[in-house]
Amino acid sequence: MIRLESGVRKASEYLSLIAGAAIIIMMLLSTADVLLRLGVPLSSKLRWWFLSFLKPIPGTYELVSFLGTVAAAFALAHTSIRGGHVSVSLVTRLLPERVRNIIRMITNSLALIFFGLLSWRSVLYAEELRFCGEVSMTLQLPYYPFIYGVAFASFAMSIVLITYLMNDIKELK
């Protein structure tokens, strides 16, 4: 059990590093796109030469959208392990520990069903997009690798929820 938990923690840390890298790339790409749209005041001789380079980056909106998907999906498991998700415990704090544990088991079970279904359906959707050859408008990037990423991240979240359930069952005894 301890090995499973440490493996899940390590995998979620790697996924969160990918999410962080996606956020940094989004930031750099957006900043570069804005700066290239602004241009810089130059002398008339240099302006002609520099204006050929000062153009917005094509497909920035698409890339930021894809990277946002990666960032959100790949940060899920690590955020859950760190307790970063919003929870409302106003009423449950007043309940006995055993009842709180049962409520936590129910919510984790429902979340496990949700993320399991999300992972499964994402794989099916990615397969459909791959088969149809669906690509983005500007850059012609295929959608399916990003949908597979969502499926993988949802599967990782499911594993995290399974470890939560195992711990809750152990505490219930």
pLDDT digit string, tens, across residues 7-43: 889 999 999 999 999 999 999 999 888 877 765 554 5
| Residue 16: per-residue pLDDT | 95
| Residue 55: per-residue pLDDT | 73
pLDDT at 63 over 70: yes
- Top pLDDT among 104 and 43 is at 104
CA–CA gap between residue 23 and residue 62 (Å, rounded): 14
| Residue 47: per-residue pLDDT | 54
Residue 161, C-beta contacts closer than 8 angstroms, at least 6 positions apart: 80, 108, 111, 112, 115
Total count of residues recorded for the chain? 173
pLDDT tens-digit profile of 106-130?
A: 999 999 999 999 999 999 999 999 9
| Residue 49: per-residue pLDDT | 54
